[in-house]
Amino acid sequence: MKVELNRVNDAVFFEASGSGSLKVHVEGSPEIGGEGRGVRPMELVLMALGSCSSLDLIEILKKQRQEIKDFSVTVEGDRADAVPAVFTKIRMIFNLTGNIDPAKAEKAAELAVKKYCSVHDMLAAGGVEIGYEVVIK
């Protein structure tokens, strides 16, 4: 796996690309010259965790023939008050709408987060406490 970042301006604004042709805008904080045009690197970490877990969660529920009409995940992280300001605790809330068995959703979330999500495992191995909740509407 390989990604590439190219600096776009004279400050801290980058265009990142992976295996496809899509681009992600990444930028530093305003304190170091960011202008609010891109996602911050630590936000990308939260997005990676949320998307990694969500892809597997949805796939598991589909295989169980659960009817998902809508899905979202909120990911929030607490960071250390030191440099580097690593994550110490992360919480995810999976919001599902549809005809979904709560017990199946809970089990699917556990598998998705704790067994299949490699981002979870990397963060947890570094001491980050990761929790999740499933909300069905």
pLDDT value of position 58: 98
pLDDT value of position 92: 98
**Rounded Cα–Cα distance for residues 78 and 11 (Å):** 27
Tell me the C-alpha to C-alpha distance, in Å, between residue 49 and each of 24, 114, 117: 16, 11, 8
Mean predicted confidence (pLDDT) in 8-32: 93
Backbone angles phi, psi at 69, to 5 degrees: -90, -30
79-126 per-position pLDDT tens digit: 999 999 999 999 999 999 999 999 999 999 999 999 999 999 999 999
- The CATH classification number of 41-136 equals 3.30.300.20
**Rounded Cα–Cα distance for residues 10 and 31 (Å):** 15
Q: pTM for this structure?
A: 0.93
42-77 per-position pLDDT tens digit: 999 999 999 999 999 999 999 999 999 999 999 999
In sequence order, what are the residues at sequence separation of 6 or more whose Cβ sits closer than 8 angstroms to the Cβ of residue 49? 75, 90, 92, 117, 119, 120, 123, 130
Sequence ranges of the domains in the chain: 1-39, 41-136
Tell me the C-alpha to C-alpha distance, in Å, between residue 16 and each of 32, 41, 58, 126: 19, 11, 27, 25
**Rounded Cα–Cα distance for residues 63 and 60 (Å):** 5
